[in-house]
Amino acid sequence: MERRKTLMILATVLLVSTVSCTTANGGYEPLKTVPSLSIPQYMGRWYEIARYDHGFEKNLVGAVADYTLRIDGKVSVVNSAFKKTLDGKYTQVKAVAQRPDDMAPGRLKVKFFGLFSADYLVFALDGEAYQWALVGDDSRRYLWFLSRKPEISDQLLDTMKHLATEAGYDVSLLYYVPQKERD
């Protein structure tokens, strides 16, 4: 009887754990990130080519992210954009990113306002050139197509869409971000 009770408790704990993990990730497996990511090489400016649109980026166009490596190994993040039009009001948000686990090089955490953090998962990258990247999260609620240039070829866009689809994203939900060259 005691063994049966123990097995029931164990089964219940396993079920609850599985449901909790599945629910937290929207029913998806964890996003498989890139096996290698050179933080110094990733530094610099990235233009948002396309994204899933969210409240925190509502009406923002010309969005870019500028990454700078700090002395302590963390990354200074400055996300900037314009409201409604490329000539609209300039806005920016600062954050700090770090890689919490060197065994998972493509999994970073970004902390905003020193209060809350978000996953920043690099799941596709163009090899050693670091000219484009796909970034998302385990729940598949967030997705960004990033490029070093404000415009990309249709062929590259198709490649990025294909990779995002393979990772479990619905590319029909993408918002294509109006862009311009920035200093």
Please write the tens of the pLDDT for every residue from 55-112. 999 999 999 999 999 999 999 999 999 999 999 999 999 999 999 999 999 999 999 9
Give the list of residues 6+ apart from residue 76 with CB closer than 8 angstroms, or none: 67, 68, 69, 70, 94, 96
For residues 101-125, average pLDDT: 95
Query: Which is more confidently placed, 126 or 21?
Result: 126
| pTM of the entire predicted model | 0.85
Domain spans in the chain, listed from the N-terminal domain onward? 1-25, 39-176
**CA distance linking residue 118 with residue 95, whole number of Å:** 10
One of 3.40.50.300, 3.30.360.10, 1.10.10.10, 2.40.128.20 is the CATH number of 39-176, namely 2.40.128.20
| 43's tokens | 């530094």
Q: CA separation (Å) from 96 to 67, 120, 178?
A: 9, 11, 26
